[in-house]
Structure 1
Amino acid sequence: MSDEAVRVDKWLWAARFFKTRRLATEAVQGGKVEVNDARAKPARTIRPGDELRVRKDAYEFHVIVHAVSDKRGPAKVAETLYEETPESIARREQTREQIRAQNAAFPQPKHRPDKHDRKHLARFKRGG
């Protein structure tokens, strides 16, 4: 960790928001990352004290950068690079609950239909 500036795509990868640097770069280019309430480019540098908004899938993270790093380390070290705001945590939890409720309303089959199940479905569709 260092206290200089580092590219936003490298920092997102080092802070473990994205599995690869390529995914981090694509997210920044796709407009899913804002630095200090402005859309960022992958080469944009960030420093401690900057605020980032990262949209990933259905979730949005609002974090404050505490330290910068361009090396990906253990998850425990990555957690020290930023602090997520309490509002962001509450919003993500609310989104998680909404997704769980939606999934409960539309249950998925336990397994793919096998030969026996397909014959039953075919008979049902034929009406006999």
Structure 2
Amino acid sequence: MTPQHMQMRLDKWLWAARFFKTRAMAKKAIEGGKVHCDGERVKVSKQIRVGMRLTLPQGWDSIEVEVMALSEQRRGAPEAQLLYQETPESREQREKGAEQRSLARQALQPPKHRPDKKDRRAIHRFQRQSTDA
């Protein structure tokens, strides 16, 4: 790498690494305090270098990545994934959160059928008992 590529703007790197669709979206997330660099809130023009750790939103979760390389250009997803590496702690926490959301979604599923006459009578009986008590 040439000396001029040893560091670059945070918003441009986030765009090139395909975390955000546009630089404007990356800028908005940074200004909103959603992106942290080495545990601190940063500005859009923050110069990042290889080895820095970034924490940023990814869907329902927040992921922590280490900057492995810099790129001025936005390329395909396989090449963009070479620019960073997710930390093992972040991956474990993300998988745990996904499992909890899956369990919660299963618990809140509606019944598989509409109540028939027998079920409705049981529901009415239960409602009367709860209002009488």
TM-score, structure 2 as length reference? 0.75
Structure having the larger proportion of residues in helix: 2
Q: Which amino acid aligns with 2:96?
A: Q
The SS at the match of 2:71 is coil
C-alpha distance after superposition, 1:63-109 (max 9, x if no partner): 11011113110111111101111111000001111111122222379
> Corresponding residue for 1:40?
42
C-alpha distance after superposition, 1:17-63 (max 9, x if no partner): 11222111111111111111110111111010111111234211111
More contact order relative to length (CA 8 Å, sep ≥ 6): 1
1:79-98 correspondence to structure 2 within 5 Å: 79-98=81-100
The alignment-based identity, stated in percent, is: 43
Instruction: Specify the structure having the higher radius of gyration (Cα).
Output: 2
TM-score, structure 1 as length reference? 0.77
* Distance in 1 separating the partners of 2:102 and 2:21: 24
> Corresponding residue for 1:102?
104
Alpha-carbon spacing, 1:49–1:97, altered in 2? closer, same or farther (3 Å): same
Dislocated runs of 4+, deviation >3 Å: none
Please report the RMSD computed on the Cα atoms of aligned residues, expressed in angstroms. 1.9
> Corresponding residue for 1:55?
57
Q: Is the Cα–Cα contact under 8 Å of residues 32 and 56 in structure 1 kept in the other structure?
A: no
Please list every run of 5 or more consecutive structure 1 residues that lacks an aligned counterpart in the other structure: 110-128
* Distance in 2 separating the partners of 1:46 and 1:82: 12
* Distance in 2 separating the partners of 1:25 and 1:108: 41
